[in-house]
Structure 1
Amino acid sequence: MSGKKKVATNLGSLLNKYSGKERLEDEIERLQSHILELEIDRKRFEKNEITAKRALAAKQDAEEKLKAANVKIETLTHQLEEKKAEATEEISFALIEEITLPQMTPYTSQLASIRSDHDSLITAYITEKEMDLNAGLSKSIMEELDQDSQYLIQKIKSDTGYVLFYDRMQMVGEIIVPPLPLERSSVEISGSFNTEQLKETLTKGINICVLAAHAGESLIGISSDKTGFDEDMVIRSSVKSKHTKGGFSQRRFERLRDEDIDHHAEKVRNALKNMLEHPTVEIDMIIKCGDILLANYILENIDTDITIMERNIDARIEKHDTDSIIRSLFSCRRYKL
């Protein structure tokens, strides 16, 4: 290279450095690279922003739907409760009454006299066991009944079973809960009602021992004819009335009352043991009524193989008419559909 060219090249380089051109070009290149990175980041951000917006929109939509669903559930629940309340108020038995044993004779005769030329009369005997198993009436028989009767039958509570007399033309709808357990279940559809098993149950010979328990005054007795007691005894003890005030006084009072009840229960238990050990007749069944919790407490320490049955009756002990308890025990409960 000639000396002039070399001097020119060096001079150009010197001018570039002096003017800052190289520095500016480097800065431009760096900035362009940064702009490219920013552009890439911008596009990524825009993409993420769209996804975020979509997710937010989807979340808001789901929340609205959930809110609407909860409102609908609350509305339907409220409507269902209203319907249940309406059904409870509107659908009820036309009649509920107690029928004494002597009154049942003309009642069963009247039912047995009804006739149908179209085999539209349903007689169903349902035992307590069938009721406990929720078996009861079969689906096919239930479908023969009107809807109100289907609903009402589910409300029957009985530890002896029940008998249904029903006319598919809805002229007759009767349920009888007998005082003693039915021995077998059966269903019959014919031109007349079958009252035979009910009459057998009502006339069945049975010797019972009654325990009508009440705090302070309980009755025990033996009956062989379903009309009165062959032998009975009223056991009385002094039992304090319930305390209505609070504090230590009430706790002490209730403790003393519990002691009185324990004393009364022991007196009744001893008398009952003596009656069962030396009965005037052979006992087939013990029937407990009145205060059932107290009756259970009295029977706790009595060792016996005799069948024990519970009856929820008005077992008030009448001073001059203890036989009223027997009449109540052997009455049938009638439900008119």
Structure 2
Amino acid sequence: MLDRLLGRAALKERIETLAEERSSLEAQLESADENRRAAERARQEAEARVNRLEDRITELEDRVKRAEGGERTVQFRGELALRGDRLETVLSRLESFRAGPDGAMTAMVEGSPPEPVRDVLGDRTPLVGRAAPALVFADDETLLSVALRPPVPPAHFVEFDTSFHVDRDWFQPRGRYTLALVRADLFAMGTYEDREQVAYEGFRSDVKGDHSKGGFSQARFERRRDQQIESHLEKAHEALSAATEPLYVVGESTLLSEFESEATVTRPVDATGAPREALADAVDRFWRTKLYLL
């Protein structure tokens, strides 16, 4: 009765009402945040699908042009993604191969195959252009002819010897290095000794997802999103200033150009999820080698 007389009852009821409203708003915010993350994941997955479709379209268009031009269509004898023990087996076999004087060609091809490669592979040369950038291993009798797309490609070269030139640093994690994953809303960086992670840093940033009807116009929304991404990238650059070299940066293809001056290698990688888990996935994907049987 005293509370009622002093007006405390009404105040307490108001406090309870506001507490309920606060809890409701917190639940809405949590749901909105989860929807934002889901929208961002969906956007990244859609971007990955678009990239794969564009690669397929380019391949098919190339085949059509060759067919219209009267070229004999040649196909890879097989394609494989190598890692772990399987990669070790392939590299060991390449290292064990022996040929006559200058009978084993090793070439790093970044674009159009150079003349020495064309001379060795003949009508199978177009396959090298489709696999590039890739290391090509072939003997003068073409008993063995493969292309490998390594995680850390060397500069262009062509050499002939009695054996193939195989440098494990091109294919496998060796020594100390840093690998960083960059997405529009996420950054994760690990320092490694071979395959063992010895240091880690990661964070998420509040970056708006897809535009929805509401208080922001499309133009204002895009400006706001660009500012958020710019701020996120500034934090990423600051974190990378302490990175161990060599530095490998992977992630969204639209962002990688921001890090080309800092990184030894940049590569698009589709890795989603929380920072630590996404980084582990990115490391696994980065250290895979694509094998093409020519």
TM bracket (short chain)? 0.5 to 0.7
Alignment of 1:11-22 (within 5 A): none
Which stretch of the first structure deviates more once superposed, 249-258 or 180-189? 180-189
- The RMSD of aligned alpha carbons is 3.9
Alignment of 1:305-316 (within 5 A): 308-316=264-272
- Max radius of gyration: which structure? 1
- SS of alignment partner, residue 194 of structure 1: coil
Deviation at 1:146, TM superposition (A): 3.2
Number of aligned residue pairs: 231
Counterpart of 1:109, as a letter, is S
- Aligned counterpart, 1:280: none
- SS of alignment partner, residue 145 of structure 1: helix
- Aligned counterpart, 1:144: 120
Measured against aligned partners, the alpha-carbon deviations of 1:306-328 in whole angstroms (never above 9, x if no partner) come to: 65321233344565463332232
- Aligned counterpart, 1:37: none
TM-score under structure 1 length normalisation: 0.55
Counterpart of 2:119, as a letter, is E
Q: Indicate conservation of the 8 Å contact 2:249/2:265, yes or no.
A: yes
> 1:97 aligned to 2:80?
yes
Distance 2:227 2:251 in 1: 20
Cα 1:262–1:166, aligned 2, differ >3 Å: closer, same or farther? same
Counterpart of 2:204, as a letter, is R
Question: Percent identity over the alignment?
Answer: 21
Distance 2:208 2:72 in 1: 40
Structure 2 unmatched ranges of 5 or more: 1-61
Distance 1:140 1:259 in 2: 50
Alignment of 1:219-230 (within 5 A): 219-225=188-194, 227-230=195-198
TM-score under structure 2 length normalisation: 0.62
Q: Indicate conservation of the 8 Å contact 1:178/1:333, yes or no.
A: yes
Cα 1:307–1:325, aligned 2, differ >3 Å: closer, same or farther? closer
Distance 1:238 1:336 in 2: 45
Distance 1:215 1:166 in 2: 42
Distance 1:259 1:309 in 2: 26
Deviation at 1:170, TM superposition (A): 4.4
Distance 2:150 2:218 in 1: 43
Alignment of 1:145-294 (within 5 A): 145-147=121-123, 149-158=124-133, 162-182=134-154, 185-188=157-160, 190=162, 193-195=163-165, 197-199=166-168, 201-202=170-171, 205-225=174-194, 227-243=195-211, 249-273=217-241, 275-276=242-243, 283-294=244-255
Counterpart of 1:208, as a letter, is Y
Deviation at 1:242, TM superposition (A): 2.2
Counterpart of 1:165, as a letter, is F
Q: Indicate conservation of the 8 Å contact 1:218/1:268, yes or no.
A: yes
Deviation at 1:236, TM superposition (A): 0.5
Measured against aligned partners, the alpha-carbon deviations of 1:190-218 in whole angstroms (never above 9, x if no partner) come to: 4xx425x3336446844322221101112
Counterpart of 2:87, as a letter, is M
More strand by share: 2
- SS of alignment partner, residue 164 of structure 2: coil
Structure 1 unmatched ranges of 5 or more: 1-79, 277-282
Deviation at 1:186, TM superposition (A): 4.0
Cα 1:187–1:232, aligned 2, differ >3 Å: closer, same or farther? same
